[in-house]
Structure 1
């Protein structure tokens, strides 16, 4: 049997693989392999999942790919993506993007442009810093994403305002993901006012027992509840009873400890892909 060459692979197969590889690879490495791979990266389906990486310097050295990425496109560590880069990337999807993850450095102009050019979003991931600096703007932009189904956020800031927009404009909204955050009474009440929600994921989140019970008592259509690595509540008889109808319920490594960590969250590419595959 003759060995097939990489460049002769069916383009539909290439597109199905490339849409999961990440923005850096789609821009900097895959197009350079051969003409057929370059052609595949131009397919709008490769750009339906837009995960803008967090390119900021940290105590650890950035990945070589990230450094290449920054220098190749003359990007700023402090305003990424800017309007011109967002336009360059988003235009490749021809308004077909369904999943979007934004870093805390996203420029205001880029945020507005993306909201206009990605009307079919189903998954939206927002970092702590982005919510802190642009919370009111994001709450207003939610009205443009009428097909939104899942929201992943790194902080509860502006939660009531965002949920008010979700209830009003996003009739298909079913999933909420919190990472490295704290759920107080006000935040729990906001979640409880979303009775049709089906998927709740709290990873490394701290909240008190009464707030968890409030959510369980109100959200009776839950199919998935993830409480792994959470703290502040007791998985006792009352909790078990209220959660008995939930098809997938996980609480490994959770505890009733009242200790609260100094949580920081930045949306990660792999997390976004895994959640998108599981829920969407």
Structure 2
């Protein structure tokens, strides 16, 4: 029996494989295997999931204009986008115009802080957005104010390692009460503000508040309020942050 060659594989099958690979593999490995694979990479469906590594990555550090180049290859088909901290203001605006079909968006810590003045207004361009992940909590209120009435499909929000004060918790409850997925892992989150979220977001099916500081994981009041949430995660959370002095180590 004649062996089938990889380069002769059906293009639809190749697209289904290539779109699951990392950007590094797509840009630097796949295209040099053979002509048919390189030709398949021109299909914009290969570029639906754009998860950028740090631009300082050793194999990509010399790639000038990497973000624009990759976004152009998607031809508006990208549904998942995770930008690097190194994303410039110009590139962020460009992405907001060229990726109208986004469903999942991740903005890391320093990108959020460096461009906090324009991010809220750009968010409304992603009408199909379903899940938003923020690496910084400082602009959460402004972002929610802009998107609450413009993004009807938003069902998931992630703010990791942030500070969820009363104003932020109140904004989540009042501006995004229909959230189904909320991730606040590693945040500073007082019991009072967690209770506010539990009482206000009635449609939650997943709430991740693991490793938070501000409440105890075994708090009975919290457990009772969260009993109706299908996937409630709170392991590792403590009421107060212990210091070296508390343990007599200094």
TM-score, length basis structure 2? 0.90
Matches within 5 A, 1:187-202: 187-193=168-174, 194-202=176-184
Q: Which has the higher contact order (CA 8 A, sep 6+)?
A: 1
1:251 and 2:234 matched: yes
Query: Post-superposition shift, 1:259?
Result: 4.6
How far 1:211 sits from its partner (Å)? 0.7
> Unpaired segments of 5 or more residues in structure 2?
244-250
Quote the residue 1:33 is aligned against: 33
Helix, strand or coil at the partner of 1:55: coil
Q: Which residue of 1 aligns with 2:59?
A: 68
2:188 to 189, 206, 210: 206
Residues 197 and 28 of structure 1, relative CA distance in 2, 3 Å threshold: same
In the other structure, the counterpart of 1:165 is: 146
- Provide closer, same or farther for how the CA distance between residues 68 and 104 of structure 1 changes in structure 2, counting only shifts above 3 A: closer
- CA distance in 2 between counterparts of 1:219 and 1:140 reads 25
Q: 1:88 aligns to what? A: 69
Q: For residue 264 of structure 1, what is the aligned residue in structure 2? A: none
**CA 1:106–1:185 in structure 2 vs 1: closer, same or farther (change >3 Å)?**
same
Q: Does structure 2 conserve the Cα–Cα contact (< 8 Å) formed by 1:97 and 1:121?
A: yes
CA RMSD after TM alignment: 1.7
* Aligned mate of 1:222, from 194, 197, 204: 204
The partner residue of 1:130 within 93, 111, 118 is 111
CA distance in 1, matches of 2:190, 2:105: 27
> Is the 1:181–1:206 Cα contact (8 Å) retained in structure 2?
yes
CA distance in 2, matches of 1:3, 1:88: 36
Residue 184 (str. 1) matches residue 165 (str. 2): yes
Which structure 1 residue ranges, 5 or more long, are not aligned? 57-65, 76-83, 261-280
Pair 25,125 (structure 1): closer, same or farther in 2 beyond 3 Å: same
Residues of 2 paired with 1:205 and 1:15: CA distance?
39
Higher helix fraction (1 or 2): 1
How far residue 249 of structure 1 moved from its aligned partner, in angstroms, is 1.4
Give the Cα separation in 1 of the matches to 2:242 and 2:151. 36
Distance 1:43 1:18 in 2: 10
Aligned residues: 241
> 8 Å contact 1:86–1:113 — kept in the other structure?
no
Deviation at 1:69, TM superposition (A): 1.9
- The residue number in structure 1 matching 2:9 is 9
| Structure 1 residue 97: Cα displacement | 1.1
Alpha-carbon separation, structure 2, partners of 1:122 and 1:161:
20
Counterpart residue number, 1:78: none
Partner in structure 2 of residue 50 of structure 1: 50
TM-score by length of 1: 0.81
